[in-house]
């Protein structure tokens, strides 16, 4: 049995939109590009044809990947959470003890992760270390640069 893929409603919506775009826009465009490249003659030395076929492989692969994730997804709405512990979907404000700075992360699905936007994957070492903790807990997290100590300041489910 395949593993479920947790995602927020926003992440689910973005995947649906990407799938629609790939099927309705990208797939027909790549088919048209292949037809045009074939019309140019000899396929063995036709770079346009090779590029279009490669793009077709990428588009079809991504469609298949998204369909698989959508079939296994578990959409979790953080606004419906009623817990004081950190779980999937939580927005967590942390105090970095070493640098004496605050940082805020939201724990999201793997496809939604964007560290620059403060979105970390449920599979990341930071998220794994935070899961199950409460406000005022100190958490030691092993990161590539060593071990960081964070104090949990706030947990929010928006």
Strand partners, 152: 94
pLDDT band at 2 (very low <50, low <70, confident <90, very high): low
With CA atoms as reference, report the closest residue to 76 among 157, 130, 18: 157
The class level of CATH for 78-156 reads alpha beta
Higher model confidence: residue 39 or residue 12? 12
Residue ranges per domain, the chain? 5-75, 78-156
In whole angstroms, give the CA distance from residue 29 to residue 149.
50
Percent of the chain with pLDDT over 90: 68
The answer to whether residue 1 scores a pLDDT higher than 80 is no
The class level of CATH for 5-75 reads mainly alpha
CB 6 within 8 A of CB 90: no
Q: Which long-range contacts (CB under 8 A, 24 or more apart) does 30-34 make?
A: 30/55, 30/56, 30/59, 31/56
Q: What mean pLDDT value characterizes the chain?
A: 90
In whole angstroms, give the CA distance from residue 130 to residue 132.
6
The answer to whether residue 110 scores a pLDDT higher than 60 is yes
């Amino acid at each position: 049995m395949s593993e479920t893929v947790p995602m927020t409603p926003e992440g689910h919506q973005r995947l649906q939109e990407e799938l629609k775009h790939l099927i309705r826009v990208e797939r027909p465009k790549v088919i048209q590009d292949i037809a045009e490249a074939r019309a140019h003659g000899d396929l063995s030395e036709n770079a346009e044809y090779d590029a279009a076929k490669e793009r077709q492989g990428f588009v079809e692969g991504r469609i298949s990947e998204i369909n698989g994730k959508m079939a296994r997804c578990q959409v979790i709405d953080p606004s419906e959470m009623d817990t004081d512990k950190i779980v999937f979907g939580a927005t967590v404000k942390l105090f970095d003890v070493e640098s004496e700075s605050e940082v805020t992360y939201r724990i999201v699905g793997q496809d939604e992760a964007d560290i620059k936007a403060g979105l970390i994957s449920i599979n990341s070492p930071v998220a794994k270390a935070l899961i199950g903790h409460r406000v005022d807990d100190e958490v030691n997290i092993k990161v590539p640069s060593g071990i960081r100590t964070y104090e949990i300041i706030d947990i929010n489910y928006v």
